Every structure is written in C-alpha cells, then in structure tokens.
Amino acid sequence: MKYNFGIDIDGVLTDEGPDNNSIWQQKMNEFFEREITLKEYTYDLAKAFAINNQELNDFIQAKIEEVYSSVKPINKAREILAELEKEGHRLILITARHEEHRSLTEKWLNDHNIPYHELYHEHDKAPLAAKKNISLFIDDKKENALEIAAKDIPVFLVSKYHNYDFNGNNKITKVNNWDEIKENIELFISKDAHASKLS
C-alpha cells in the first residue's frame, strides 16, 4: 500500500531551536532594541514574545526571509523522507508560508536535499489535505491538527511550547522528534495493512 503523507514545513522540517532561544527570538533580539523573551505559550508570535501587532508586522517585513532561508533542517527528517520516497509513498508539503516565499522555500528544500513531490502554500490546510487524499498529516500547530483530524485524517503533532496544553486524542498523536515520527509511521502502516486484511 502506498500512502500520501502531508507534511508541514516550519517546526516540522525546520529546527527552530529551543523554546527559550528559538530562531524567532534570536532574530527579534537582533531587530528590536530591547531584550525579547518567550512570555506566553501560544502560536501567536506577538503574544508569545509580548510585542504589539505593528512591531510584529515590521519584524515580519524585515526578517521573515532571513528566518526562512537561514533556519536549519531538523535532524533525521531528510533521511526518513528519503526512505519513504524510496518505498513509493508520496510526500506532499503543505505550508502556511505565503506564496510569495515559494522560490525561497523551494531553494531551501533543494539546498538541504529534502525530497518531496508536491509543495502547496495554503493557510487553510484541512480542506486541501482532504482533497489531496492525505493518509497521514504531520504538523506542529494544534489548530491545524484538530481541523485535519476532523476530516478523519490521522495527525502526528510535533511537540512545541505552543501545543504543550494538548496531549492528543484518538486521531492525533504527539511526537517529539523524527525518530518518533518514523516509529509511528511504521505503526500506522502495519495497523492499516492489518485492518485492510480484515475488511
């Protein structure tokens, strides 16, 4: 059986660094003339780093391309995606990054040898995941996980400070790293093969 894997980019393929010294915090510290620290465990960058929305806009305008191009890939993702590709599965990247960052994103993926078949820039991920017949989705944003799971698609939710308050459910499995993602993909495939044998 071949599967379509839906994969987010930021926080899933990228290594944003530790909670208290992430690439976002580092770049904000360079940009603002005061010390920026993580204040609140939320996905909302303005709230998380206690800056106002105007400051966030200014920061995004000035620094987002620098963040996207300089962020490092996360350990093991490339190797594990290469194995999945070799086994014949489809790797469909769905990112909420704005379409204007497409060529930068493609360059980053190529520079880091990350294999994939399709790349979509889409903020509203759940309908696209359903349309693309995604078998399993990997994301780090809790709200995405809940919406995708509501389409009856299993999700692996990568643990981050902004989803620490959610432990998962029968459709959503929390994972800490790509070793755990790999283990859970193998489990998903073997369970699915077993279920289709019974049906």
Enumerate the active-site residues.
Answer: 8, 10
* Chain centroid offset of residue 125 CA: 11
Whether residue 172 contacts residue 157, with contact meaning beta carbons closer than 8 Å, is answered with yes
In the complex with Mg ion, which residue's Cβ is closer, 64 or 189? 64
Which sign, positive or negative, has the C-alpha torsion 4, 6, 9, 15?
A: negative
Q: Could you tell me where the beta strands, DSSP code E, fall in the chain?
A: 4-7, 14-15, 72-73, 90-95, 118-121, 136-139, 155-158, 172-175
Residues 6+ apart with CB under 8 A from 15: 71, 72, 73, 74, 75
Least distance to Mg ion from the beta carbon of 11, Å? 4
Least distance to Mg ion from the beta carbon of 22, Å? 12
Site residues (vs Mg ion, CB under 5 A): 8, 10-11, 140
In the complex with Mg ion, which residue's Cβ is closer, 151 or 192? 151
Least distance to Mg ion from the beta carbon of 87, Å? 25
Whether residue 138 contacts residue 6, with contact meaning beta carbons closer than 8 Å, is answered with yes
In the complex with Mg ion, which residue's Cβ is closer, 51 or 138? 138
Least distance to Mg ion from the beta carbon of 12, Å? 6
DSSP state at residue 119:
E
In the complex with Mg ion, which residue's Cβ is closer, 32 or 43? 43
Residue at shortest CB range from Mg ion: 11
Residues facing residue 139 across a β-bridge:
157
